[in-house]
Amino acid sequence: MAIGAHRFESPDPAALRAIGGKPAMAIWGEADRTLGAQHFLPQFAGLFPQAPIHRLPRAGHSSLEDSPAEIAGLVPDFLQRI
């Protein structure tokens, strides 16, 4: 298990231009003890300020296994809106 703060690299300017207008959505398990939301989600929100962020309170690092029904509802809804 990882302990401590994780660092996520910021994209370089060319990458920012390439991804800036792309649709994005974050689905994050709040019980993730490996990659905590407090480290990733602020950077994600800064890169994609209009993107939806969904926090799954009962999901951990393997969110798809922990909350499959909830994720299965979020993805099609997101895809219909883009």
Model confidence pLDDT, tens digit, residues 34-75:
887 887 898 889 889 999 999 999 899 999 999 999 999 999
Between the two ends of the chain, the Cα-to-Cα distance in Å is: 36
**Coil, strand or helix at 80:** helix
Compute the C-alpha angle 15/72/28, nearest 5°. Answer: 50
What is the predicted pLDDT for the residue at 9? 73
**In the chain, domain spans:** 25-81
* Dist. CA 65–CA 4, nearest whole Å: 24
For residues 30 and 37, the answer to whether their CB atoms sit within 8 Å is: yes
Confidence class of residue 3 from pLDDT cuts 50, 70 and 90? low
